[in-house]
Chains A and B, each alone.
Chain A
Amino acid sequence: MGWVAHNLGLIAELTLAHIALSILPILLGGVLSIPVGWLAFRFPTVRGSVLGLVGVLYTIPSLALFVLLPPLFGFPILSELNVIVALVIYAVAIMVRSVSDGFSSIDAGSLRAATAVGYGPWQRFFQVELPLAGPVLLAGLRVVSVSTVSLVTVGVLVGVKSLGYFFTDGFQRRIEAEILTGIVMTLVVALLFDLLLLALGRALMPWSLLAKKRLVTSEAE
């Protein structure tokens, strides 16, 4: 524990850097995947190729993606932009499927009812479809969040400082406590993000909690 006590400042600094690197991919992944996932849901002809493409993107190992993106987009390999773009790609790859599934999970009757009472297409999308797909979107976003927080650590191999720095630095200096600190703090950040997303879900979709309770009581009867 001596190492931890002597490096509290660095631990705080890298934890914050880690959080900063994780937020953008999670948010951007969530926002970008909604139109793409909706298109995949709405047009079955597009669905196959879109879901196939995100499946392919998802199979690319991160270290390979860190190497392949710079020549394609023209940014330096040793840059935060490189890591962030790669993580956005993974986030979209995970989320598009969840978005498409989320919209498919909506009862067609609710949509017809919304149209019947006079909702226009945009209004129906934002006030009926999006909220009803919400729980599935949230589940997808939680997966994105956990995966992103863990992946940020690999960025240290292309020189981007995060909690992953404790892995390589601790390894080179043979300080077990340093690597362990990196692992534990990564888990803490992942847990923090997850709790935050859960709280957000509860605040934005209080009805999903009610539905769950009703299900539980009706099962008990």
Chain B
Amino acid sequence: MELFRDAWLWLTNPANYTSEGSVAERFLEHLTYTGIVVAVASLIALPLGLFIGHTGRGRRWAVGVAGAARALPTFGLLLYLVLLLGVEWRAVAAVIALVLLAIPPLLAGAYTGVDQIDRRTLDAARAQGMTGWQVVWRVEIPLALPLIVGGLRSAVLQVVATVTLIAYVGLGGLGYHIIQGIPLRRFDQMVGSALAIVLLALALDALFALLTRVVTPSGVKKAGGADIRAREGSRRGLTRAS
């Protein structure tokens, strides 16, 4: 337990916040990479997932890709891409490797979100004269939103966990003091960083749990479906890679 006290002292030591490469800086790096990766992955995966859900085309393909991507060891992919693109492009390599990790849960959230909508609801929307685009924007997306946010939640958690590893190629993040500390046996900084990462992951998880509740349409909430659907959403396509 003494170790945890040392770790806490390290984590709260003001000197670790004023120097070059401080904990605060590592924290910001961690959040920045997570944000960029999830944004890029969302831009690719969400429209694709909505398209698959809307048209019903390519579902088998999406399931296959998501399954295969689960097995891909992201740490290996990261190091491979850094060698392939060159060390000066290592930030791009890291973003690519992490985007590949984030796509499957986002894709699954979007297409299962649209998939689980009652066909009669969509028929009713069309019968009222809505065009294809109107159905997508006014019916499918609002009803799919809890599952889309569920996918976003798994993606964010996986990316936050895996950004820990980018310190190995010199990109910083909260993993820095762990990876640098192992050979030096600096347990205070390792345990301190580990605690910081865990707290960050838990905070983000809680934030997205709240967001799922907020985006659930009130009609769905009244029908009592929100809880089950949110839970399903955060589980689908969820495996950890790091």
Contact = CB atoms under 8 A, between A and B. Distances in A.
**Residue from B75, B80, B161 having most chain A Cβ neighbours under 10 A:** B75
Contacts of B240: 58, 62, 90, 147, 151
A103 interface: no
A77 interface: yes
B72 A62 contact: no
B76 A174 contact: no
Interface stretch (A3-11, A110-118, A176-184, A210-218): A176-184
Interface stretch (A28-36, A123-131, A165-173, A198-206): A165-173
Nearest to B1: A71
**Residue from A55, A166, A171 having most chain B Cβ neighbours under 10 A:** A171
Nearest to A55: B205
Interface of A: prevailing SS = helix
Interface size class of B (residues with CB under 8 A): 35 or more
A67 B76 contact: no
Contact of B239 (A68, A147, A180, A183): A147
Given A150-B239, A176-B83, 4 more contacts: A55-B205, A63-B178, A146-B70, A150-B71
B195 A68 contact: yes
A172 to B, nearest CB: 9
Given A67-B190, A157-B168, A183 B242 contact: no
**Residue from A55, A64, A94, A174 having most chain B Cβ neighbours under 10 A:** A64
Contacts of A56: 202
A68 B194 contact: yes
Interface in A136-155: 143, 146-147, 149-151, 153-154
A77 B76 contact: no
A92 interface: no
